[in-house]
Amino acid sequence: MFAIVGILIVFGAVTGGYLLEKGKLAVLVQPSELLIIGGAALGTLLIANRVHTLKKIAAGAGGVFGALLYSQARYLETLKMMYELLNKARRAGMLAIEADIEDPATSQVFGASPAFLKDHHARDFVCDTMRMAVTGGIDPFEMDQMMELDMEVQHRSATEPVHSLSALADSLPGLGIVAAVLGVVITMGALGGPPEQIGHKVAAALVGTFLGILLCYGLIGPVSASMSKSMDDENAYLYMLRVLMLCFIRGNPPIMAIEVARRAIPMHVRPSFTEVETACRGPRTGETPEGETETAA
């Protein structure tokens, strides 16, 4: 939502300032310049990237205009789900959760968090790690190294579309210059004609440079930066899961693992201790579900 508002502000401010100076809006409408810049940009994107990266770019760019994936509610839901999973393993033994991690789609524990099931990166990260814990015989330090390796590979894969889109943004001013140079070439061919015609062609050539710079710094660059922040949010979410599972594997009780994981959550989405305890264990004795003390009848 904010991304859409931001784009409207950028283009609205630029257009509004231009019109305030009594500029003619029709002059900025240059389909040929857009074709040169847009077509060349698309071509360079196809040359530099493989199909799987292009799909990630499309998905990541679409996610920029969607809701925040890793909100406080998402973290609370995940902590509650993991508490139930770890509590089940502690009470009935690690083998009790084998069915859950082997087929998470049919698991009642994982089913309580649809967002987690849809997030195949996080789902596989948890299931693969807990599968090794069920197998046993692995030192917690080695398990931590394995999770760190998994996170590093996932983060590297996730940042591929960001780097590609950043490279595209950096190329747009140059492509705008290409369009402007072609416009100048056309203008040179029209020398000797009416001054109005020459002026129109010069203006069209300059629009190419203008569009390249505007698309770079006003659209593609910010979208790339937003995608990068989304990748950081995903990495922070996986780090929270890593801390949680490692704490449990080291022999700590589930509620201790949940509290350690809570403190690994970024501050702007970190739930309070009371919120996590209420989500996992329910309200304290003598309190209503809303956290208000009950009064005697």
The set of residues, in sequence order, having a beta carbon less than 8 Å from that of 151 and lying 6+ positions away, is: 125, 235, 238, 239, 242
Q: Which tokens sit at 134?
A: 């069920």
pLDDT at 102: 92
Provide the pLDDT for residue 203: 85
Tell me the C-alpha to C-alpha distance, in Å, between residue 112 and each of 76, 80, 106, 220: 12, 9, 11, 37
Residue 133 to residue 294: CA distance in whole angstroms: 42
Q: DSSP assignment of the chain, as one string?
A: -HHHHHHHHHHHHHHHHHHHTT--HHHH--HHHHHHHHHHHHHHHHHH--HHHHHHHHHHHHHHTS--SS-HHHHHHHHHHHHHHHHHHHHH-GGGGHHHHH-GGG-HHHHT-HHHHH-HHHHHHHHHHHHHHHH----HHHHHHHHHHHHHHHHHHHHHHHHHHHHHHHHHHHHHHHHHHHHHHHHHHTTTS-HHHHHHHHHHHHHHHHHHHHHIIIIIHHHHHHHHHHHHHHHHHHHHHHHHHHHHHTT--HHHHHHHHHTTS-GGGPPPHHHHHHHHH-SPTTB-TTSPBP---
For residue 283, what pLDDT is reported? 64
Q: For the purposes of burial, counting CB atoms within 10 Å of the CB of 109, is it exposed (0-12), middle (13-18) or buried (19 or more)?
A: buried
Give the pLDDT confidence score for residue 77 in this predicted structure. Answer: 94
Is 80 in contact with 112 (CB distance < 8 Å)?
yes
Residue 293, φ and ψ in degrees, nearest 5: -65, 135
Query: Which residue positions in the chain have pLDDT lower than 50?
Result: 286-297
Question: What pLDDT, on a 0 to 100 scale, did the predictor assign at position 287?
Answer: 45
Give per-residue pLDDT as tens, 68-103.
Answer: 889 999 999 999 999 999 999 999 888 899 999 999
- For position 297, what pLDDT does the model report? 31
CA gap 209, 37 in Å, rounded: 9
- The neighbouring-strand residues paired with 287 are 293
Query: pTM, whole model, 2 decimals?
Result: 0.84
Residue 104: alpha-carbon gap to chain centroid? 24
Residue 84: Cβ within 10 Å count: 19
